[in-house]
């Protein structure tokens, strides 16, 4: 039957931003690795895909923002991130879980080498 390998990269791989060039490059490498592995593993019926989320409302983001001033300043930064996303909000864990479940499901049986942007339109 094969299987599914799913990895996570970042929308920064698709739509880079200034001042984080090496971060963007490393995430881009994950996209290329996904595509290369998809080709290598296709004969074994193993699908390989990745998710590319935008900034997510998680404890990791909270920890990253904690060094940028008080709670008011951190809130302003979160609002700034959300303002750059056409759907107007950060990604959340349910968004990622839904995308992952889809890519792992039989409904995505013919998808391999795909980098699914879970970004509310940010990479458009």
Residues with a catalytic annotation lie at 23
How many angstroms from the chain centroid is the CA of residue 56? 9
Count other Cβ atoms within 10 Å, centred on residue 60.
10
In DSSP notation, the chain reads --EEEEEE--GGGTS--TT-HHHHHHHHHHHHHHHHHHHHHGGGTEEEEEEEE-SBSSHHHHHHHTTSSSHHHHHHHHHHHHHTSTTSS-B-HHHHHHHHHHHHSGGGTT--S-EEEESTTTT-
Nearest to 8 by CA among 88, 79, 99: 99
């Amino acid at each position: 039957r094969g299987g599914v390998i799913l990895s996570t990269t970042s929308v920064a791989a698709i739509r880079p931003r200034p001042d984080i060039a090496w971060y963007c490059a490393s995430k881009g490498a994950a996209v290329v690795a996904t595509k290369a592995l998809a080709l290598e593993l296709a004969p074994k019926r193993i699908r390989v895909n990745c998710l590319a989320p935008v900034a997510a409302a998680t404890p990791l983001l909270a920890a990253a923002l904690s060094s940028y001033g008080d709670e008011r300043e951190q809130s302003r930064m979160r609002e700034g991130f959300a303002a750059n996303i056409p759907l107007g909000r950060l990604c959340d864990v349910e968004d990622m879980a839904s995308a992952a479940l889809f890519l792992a499901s039989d409904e995505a049986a013919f998808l391999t080498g795909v980098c699914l942007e879970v970004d509310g339109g940010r990479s458009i």
